[in-house]
Structure 1
Amino acid sequence: MSSWLYKLGKWSSHNKFKVICAWMVLLIATLALAIALKPAFSEDMSIPDTPSEKALNVLDKEFPQGPHKGSIRVIFGAKDGEKLTSKSAQQAIEDTIKEINKDNSVKTIATPFYTGTISKDKTVAYADVNYKVAADDISDYSIKHIKNSLSVANDKGLQTELNGDMPGAKIEVGGVSEIIGVILAFVILAITFGSLLLAGLPILTAIIGLGTSLGIILIGTQVFDIASVSLSLAAMIGLAVGIDYALFIFTKHRKFLGEGLQKNESIARATGTAGSAVVFAGLTVIVALCGLTVVGIPFISTMGLTAALSVFTAVLASITLVPAVLSIIGRHAIGKSTKKNEKQHSEISFWGRFVTKNPIIIGLSGILLLIVISIPSLHMELGLPNDGMNAKDNPARKAYDLLADGFGEGFNGQLSVVADARGATGDKNKAFAEAVKEIKNLDHVKSVTPPIPNKKGDFAIITVVPATGPNDPTTKDLVKDVRNLSDKKGVDLLVTGPTAVNIDISDRLNDAIPIFAALIVGFAFILLTVVFRSLLVPLVAVVGFLLTLTATLGLSVFILQDGNLNHLFSIPQNGPILAFLPILVIGILFGLAMDYQVFLVSSMREEYIKTKNPIQAIQAGLKHNGPVVIAAGLIMIFVFSGFIFSHEGTIKAMGLALTFGVLFDAFIVRMTIIPSVMKLMGNAAWYLPKWLDKVIPNVDIEGHQLTQEIQTAEESENIQKISI
């Protein structure tokens, strides 16, 4: 592969303008087409074959005019000390209802005073607006009309809020905090290269690659069900790895230029050597992200595949666009810091000397620190975000709080129970009534509505209001208790609704975590055994990854679930850990951890093969590739941290987990624990049984074979010149 990349790098450097123009055309074309088609995101996070999904299918079949039609709830709140039953408040509410009903797409709407949907203290009420079309088909005009209609009540001093089938999340791929993250990455690159010009180039190439992948993803929303959060995740990963991969090739090119190589030859060799590591590292991340499809959850698979696409374009840009850009800047790629680095080239780095002299203290300190941070993960609870976890000034949060104040926390976590009485003997209406009675007798039930049968009379809908909120553990227990009532007297109870769906998703993801983690760990061990031709080095790397994973989840629980440091990270409300966060963290951090492991330990192996001195190999790896890993880790941290301050809770949680995950892995595991343990293992670190050495393939990710081929060719050329 290194020979092919060498040729590709040389071709790209000679055809720089063609390559750059091709990328610009691709970028503009994909984004223009995406904008013209208009993105059509799907926020469906259902999982096939779960109990709640089966219940939804029954609703669609047996209640064709029922709950699956679009519905928006209008919530009214009285001023402090006043009641909605006052004459002026009643008139304001009725006038608002009349105004909303002027929309021809509205099927039914009634005042709270007719339906009885008013709180006991008469301070909160609501009216459900039922539409003639499905939720996804509610027009922009209808949304605008209902919002404008609220001004009738607002002008009378009432508080009005909306919830229900409102438009989905807005696309969020950038903001002020993300821009700050990129600026900080620019600062790191400027320090690394000693040049402001060079610092901006890896960011530029990464943005071009990222923009192309985002354009493709936006176009893909026309064909595939892609959630808006997938776009943000793809942007997060694509930008970070794009900058890092360009950094690796830039650094190698500067090294070759410093050794006196001609510009195009230096670019070709950098692409063939560092580019090989980039391709391998990128494929590792892609495999890890595509591995999310084995979980068998559609929206998780989509998130993994879209993120993998952004990594693929980052790799492609690194081995084609980066060489072209390097060719344009020529020998300006050598910054002011190059001579200083050359003088220090033969010296052992301070950190390398410190680690090899104190391996036990340093190694144990790193391990104990990560174990302590991991402790909160033992009480991790999974769930999905609800409106109550938004910022207090968020409209959805205001609606949530208003309903909770008037009707209790459980009102926002209502359960839709589908009673199937096809197997019941005798009067089915009595069977439904008996089911309602049994549900009322369960713990943590606040109220139960009378059953609403379908036309045939063999199915009925029962609404259950829990006494606790949607993310409360007792609500989860209630869902299980209702389902356990099934088959009594021939009535089967199917539970669905947003709360039940979230519980089922969390349970399915919780079951998938150990399976996916085992697959990833096994794959990592095999992969690293092939790369480093060792048994103990991969074993230590895998254990280090597990420490990174548990520490990342532990800190996430400490902050997001337990509510510590919420103010520091602008987290409006603590709650359960995002259900799919552990799965994503496993896949993404695995890929990034293998990146750092490959770039750092490959140079150690190269030195060990030359000297057979394990201590010298560790010091050489930390000296030559340690600074690059540190710079790459800092860039990742700054880019991911920009997403912590996103207004979207899902993106905020992912940004937080990935920021600290990279911090733990790059600085504690790869730069501290790994070299410390390798020092203690000595020569045994590089042991590989002879029979296994013959079986596994020889993967030359550092391009050693390419270097030998070039040296052999140069020696032959010199011999021919001498003979002539």
Structure 2
Amino acid sequence: MSVYLYRWGKFAFRRKWIVLPVWLLLFLLLGGLGTALSKPMSNDFSMPELPSARATDILDKHFPGMSEQFMLDAVSGTYVIGAPEGTKLTDPANRAAIDALIAKLSELDIVDHAKPLTSPVAMTEKMGCLADPDPTRCSGAPLNVLSTTAPDTVAFLTVPFAIDTVTDVTEANREAAYEVGAEARNAGLTVEISGSVAMTQEQPSGKSEMIGMAVALVVMVVAFGALVAAVVPIVTAIVGLGAATSLIMLGTSIMQVPGFTTFLASMIGIALSIDYALFIVSRYKHELAVRDSAEEAAGTALGTAGSAVVFAGLTVIIALGALGIVGVQFLTFMGLGGAIAAGFAVLTAITLMPALMGAFGKYLFKPKLPLVAQHDPEDDDSVTVGQRFGRLIGKAPWVALILSVLALGALAAPAANLNLGLPGEDSLPTTSTVRKAYDLRTEGFGEGSNGVLMVVADLAEVPEAQREQAVTALREKLESYEQMDYVTAPQWSESKQGVMLNGVPKQGPNNQDTKDLVAEARDAEAELQAEYGMTYGITGTTAIYADVDHVLLSKILPYLAIVAGAAFILLILVFRSILVPLTAALGFLLSMAATFGATVLIFQEGAFGLIEDPQPLVSFMPIMLIGLVFGLAMDYQVFLVTRMREEFVHGKSPKDAMISGYHHGARVVTSAAIIMISVFGSFIMETDVTAKSFGFALAAGVAIDAFVVRMVIVPALLVIMGKWSWWIPKWLDRILPDIDVEGAKLEQLRAQNAETVKQPVPVS
């Protein structure tokens, strides 16, 4: 690999005015197509063959058309109405304002007028619940008549919309759906709207990317001691991220792409593009001092650091691409989006970067800034901070190892309380109308009213005389659960062979108690089926969320095993060792546990008051985090430990080889890690809570893995294990392919070329 990259590096450096226009054309072409053909992204987190799908089948059988409300691309909207303080919605003025709102809704062209709308107050009155709010009859009333603190103050109105799918909802539609309540608000009512008609798909604001790039620029100025060299990796990052994002947006024209894909691609694209360019430019700077020409230096930098970049990028691509193994469609697409960003990061580093080095020529490391980057870490005579730290670890490896493991173990402890959920209305910014509607409904009806469980029973096999008894038994069973608030009266199908009940839990959709309630209620089916012959299923947003969480949680350990196993095999190829890959994989597991613990502590448990509104971690975070941090961990393992192996092979003792490798690689790995942490951490500035938690988790994962595992635990283990670190069975050494990440074949190529030059030309 190193020889091919060496030759390409020299070509791109020399033929820069061919390579650069090609990249510009590709960038403009992808950008134009992505902008012109892109379609709205999807919030569809559905999966095939979930337990909730069984309830949908029963619903379609006995209540045709009812299941459409649970299609995740269906357009829904619920207006939540609150009375002015000190009044009730039953007061004449407030009733009149609600009637006026319904009249406005009836005139709105995006509303489906096939079903006439009824005032929630009038409907509650018709149920006989205003005068006699009996819990048995009135539990399903759209007015909070059963509230013990502020009855008759909150109501909800579900409105059918005549828009085909969520992706067809425009900003004008959202604005019209919200503004229709303007007169009611002027009359003193609180009117908020929830549902997909009001949901907006958050996209990266651009602020996070700018912050990350600004920090990266400062870090690279310090690392290179020159302004131009610090700017060039930013250029490759912009080009790589722009191309990757454009390609993802282009993909929306032919398939539904999950909305969070762009956040993920932005995080990965910026961080990897800058890091990979940093590795190559750092090596190029050193090669300029020892090679005969800048072209030779560029080729050598690409053949050595470029080889490591390709391998490191492949690990990220493989880890993200392997998400397809999980069997969850939206995770597969998100993984592919991240892999595309990683692929462009590698591509710009090994193709665009050498052309830019050729274009800037001798001005790349000018103007040279004073006081920074005074010592070349490749110079064995200079004493760097990395060398001092390596010596410290070498003096007390057991102390460094034990203290690090204990610290990470303590940090990992909160991970035992990990609770997962999907991004819902409760995770939106508190300033959004959807979140306000969620909170207002919680205030009036309890949090569980935002996550009603629809229980649908099939009574076809139940004797007609026993059907009432069977449904009563089902309702009593559901009401017996501690976490169930109440169950509404049964609604029968026309054939009397199907029945539908709504169970309202005490907690919200993402609460673990609610998920446990769903599991317990399903487990009771066997008993009722044996006694009556009745079957039933549970669906609704809450049940679907619980099903998705269960599936994703069950995939974490298999995926972790796959990734750790892949790490072990790949690192055997790189290091030609058994124990080094084993310690790398085990260190990765330790860093993952600590990362989960830190994220749970901050975002789920709200420690230190850093998060105003703690929420369960998004369900797909653990798997995505494993894939991403695995790839990044292998980056740092390769860039730091390959140099240690090289020094050992050249005759140094295990301890001296570790210190020397630390001396040469610590600065670039530290710079790369700081850039990664800054880019990922800047996403905490986003309003989307999922982006916040992802940004924090990735930043924490990089910090823990780079600075504790790769730069303390692994070097300490190399000293402790001594020569055994680099042991490999001879039979395995013979059959392993030589991928030459260190670029050893380049020296052989140079030796051959030098010998060819020395040979006298025969005289004919």
Q: Quick check: 2:3–2:303 contact (8 Å CA) kept in 1? A: yes
Q: Quick check: 1:390–1:572 contact (8 Å CA) kept in 2? A: no
Tell me what 1:85 maps to. 90
Change in Cα spacing, 1:493 to 1:211, as seen in structure 2 (3 Å) is same
Give the C-alpha shift of residue 616 in structure 1: 1.9
Q: Quick check: 2:640–2:665 contact (8 Å CA) kept in 1? A: yes
Give the C-alpha shift of residue 332 in structure 1: 2.4
Matched, 1:538 2:581: yes
Tell me what 2:455 maps to. 417
Tell me what 1:670 maps to. 710
Give the C-alpha shift of residue 503 in structure 1: 0.9
Change in Cα spacing, 1:338 to 1:175, as seen in structure 2 (3 Å) is closer
Alpha-carbon separation, structure 2, partners of 1:678 and 1:97: 73
Tell me what 2:537 maps to. 494
Match of 2:392 among 354, 357, 380: 354
Matched, 1:306 2:342: no
Matched, 1:114 2:144: no
Match of 1:251 among 250, 268, 282: 282
CA deviations 1:253-279 (Å, max 9, x no partner) are 111111143122211121111111111
Q: Quick check: 1:428–1:457 contact (8 Å CA) kept in 2? A: no
Tell me what 1:195 maps to. 226
SS of 2:159 mapped into structure 1: strand
CA deviations 1:623-645 (Å, max 9, x no partner) are 11111100000000000001112
Alpha-carbon separation, structure 1, partners of 2:481 and 2:520: 7
Q: Quick check: 2:195–2:434 contact (8 Å CA) kept in 1? A: no
Matched, 1:373 2:408: no
Q: Quick check: 1:103–1:142 contact (8 Å CA) kept in 2? A: no
Alpha-carbon separation, structure 1, partners of 2:45 and 2:517: 22
Q: Quick check: 2:376–2:382 contact (8 Å CA) kept in 1? A: no
Matched, 1:400 2:400: no
Change in Cα spacing, 1:494 to 1:480, as seen in structure 2 (3 Å) is same
Tell me what 1:468 maps to. 507
Tell me what 1:285 maps to. 316
Matched, 1:208 2:214: no
CA deviations 1:474-510 (Å, max 9, x no partner) are 2222212321232521221211111111111111111
Give the C-alpha shift of residue 125 in structure 1: 0.9
Write the letter of the residue equivalent to 1:345.
D
Q: Quick check: 2:42–2:167 contact (8 Å CA) kept in 1? A: no
Match of 1:341 among 373, 376, 383: 376
Name whichever of 714-723 and 612-621 sits farther off.
Answer: 714-723
Alpha-carbon separation, structure 2, partners of 1:723 and 1:372: 77
Write the letter of the residue equivalent to 1:16.
K
Q: Quick check: 1:392–1:572 contact (8 Å CA) kept in 2? A: no
Match of 1:581 among 603, 610, 621: 621
Give the C-alpha shift of residue 352 in structure 1: 1.8
Q: Quick check: 1:363–1:676 contact (8 Å CA) kept in 2? A: yes
Alpha-carbon separation, structure 2, partners of 1:712 and 1:375: 57
Q: Quick check: 1:254–1:333 contact (8 Å CA) kept in 2? A: no
Long gaps (5+) in structure 1: none
Alpha-carbon separation, structure 2, partners of 1:609 and 1:51: 57
SS of 2:257 mapped into structure 1: coil
Alpha-carbon separation, structure 2, partners of 1:271 and 1:377: 41
Q: Quick check: 1:421–1:428 contact (8 Å CA) kept in 2? A: no
Give the C-alpha shift of residue 240 in structure 1: 0.5
Tell me what 2:726 maps to. 686
SS of 1:625 mapped into structure 2: helix
Give the C-alpha shift of residue 18 in structure 1: 2.2
SS of 1:73 mapped into structure 2: strand
Over aligned residue pairs, what C-alpha RMSD do you find?
A: 2.2
Change in Cα spacing, 1:395 to 1:145, as seen in structure 2 (3 Å) is closer
Match of 1:221 among 243, 249, 252: 252
Match of 2:191 among 125, 142, 160: 160
Tell me what 2:482 maps to. 443
Q: Quick check: 1:60–1:68 contact (8 Å CA) kept in 2? A: no
Tell me what 1:144 maps to. 175
Change in Cα spacing, 1:720 to 1:565, as seen in structure 2 (3 Å) is farther
Write the letter of the residue equivalent to 2:376.
N
Name whichever of 126-135 and 107-116 sits farther off.
Answer: 126-135
Tell me what 1:94 maps to. 99
Aligned residues: 721
Match of 1:179 among 210, 217, 240: 210
Structure 1's consecutive aligned runs of 4 or more residues displaced over 6 angstroms after TM superposition are: 721-724
CA deviations 1:440-461 (Å, max 9, x no partner) are 3333322222333445543333
Give the C-alpha shift of residue 34 in structure 1: 1.8
Name whichever of 108-117 and 583-592 sits farther off.
Answer: 108-117
> TM-score when scaled to structure 1?
0.95
CA deviations 1:500-522 (Å, max 9, x no partner) are 11111111111111111111111
CA deviations 1:58-109 (Å, max 9, x no partner) are 5456544325243311111112211111111111111011001112442332
Change in Cα spacing, 1:566 to 1:502, as seen in structure 2 (3 Å) is farther
Write the letter of the residue equivalent to 1:626.
A
Q: Quick check: 1:453–1:460 contact (8 Å CA) kept in 2? A: yes
Name whichever of 132-141 and 480-489 sits farther off.
Answer: 132-141
Alpha-carbon separation, structure 2, partners of 1:704 and 1:103: 72
Give the C-alpha shift of residue 156 in structure 1: 0.5
Q: Quick check: 1:589–1:658 contact (8 Å CA) kept in 2? A: yes
Tell me what 1:387 maps to. 425
Alpha-carbon separation, structure 1, partners of 2:294 and 2:663: 25
Tell me what 1:636 maps to. 676
SS of 1:118 mapped into structure 2: coil
Q: Quick check: 2:283–2:305 contact (8 Å CA) kept in 1? A: yes
Q: Quick check: 2:568–2:581 contact (8 Å CA) kept in 1? A: yes
CA deviations 1:636-669 (Å, max 9, x no partner) are 0000001112111111111110001000011111
Matched, 1:26 2:26: yes
Write the letter of the residue equivalent to 1:255.
H
Give the C-alpha shift of residue 369 in structure 1: 1.0
Write the letter of the residue equivalent to 1:196.
L
Q: Quick check: 1:414–1:464 contact (8 Å CA) kept in 2? A: yes
Alpha-carbon separation, structure 1, partners of 2:234 and 2:63: 54
Q: Quick check: 2:177–2:198 contact (8 Å CA) kept in 1? A: no
Matched, 1:46 2:51: no
SS of 1:462 mapped into structure 2: strand
Tell me what 1:504 maps to. 547
Tell me what 2:137 maps to. none
Give the C-alpha shift of residue 565 in structure 1: 2.8
CA deviations 1:102-123 (Å, max 9, x no partner) are 1244233211112221112111
Tell me what 2:80 maps to. 75
Write the letter of the residue equivalent to 2:43.
E
Give the C-alpha shift of residue 469 in structure 1: 2.3
Give the C-alpha shift of residue 356 in structure 1: 1.1
Tell me what 1:599 maps to. 639
Long gaps (5+) in structure 2: 70-74, 125-141, 146-150
CA deviations 1:138-186 (Å, max 9, x no partner) are 6545433322210110110111100012254434224324322211111
Name whichever of 163-172 and 74-83 sits farther off.
Answer: 163-172
CA deviations 1:425-444 (Å, max 9, x no partner) are 22585244543343233333
Alpha-carbon separation, structure 2, partners of 1:216 and 1:168: 25
CA deviations 1:178-204 (Å, max 9, x no partner) are 322211111001100111221111011
Change in Cα spacing, 1:721 to 1:248, as seen in structure 2 (3 Å) is farther
Change in Cα spacing, 1:588 to 1:61, as seen in structure 2 (3 Å) is farther
Change in Cα spacing, 1:145 to 1:334, as seen in structure 2 (3 Å) is closer
CA deviations 1:211-257 (Å, max 9, x no partner) are 00110100111222211101110110111011111111111111111
Change in Cα spacing, 1:142 to 1:434, as seen in structure 2 (3 Å) is farther
Matched, 1:329 2:360: yes
Alpha-carbon separation, structure 2, partners of 1:342 and 1:597: 18
Write the letter of the residue equivalent to 1:452.
Q
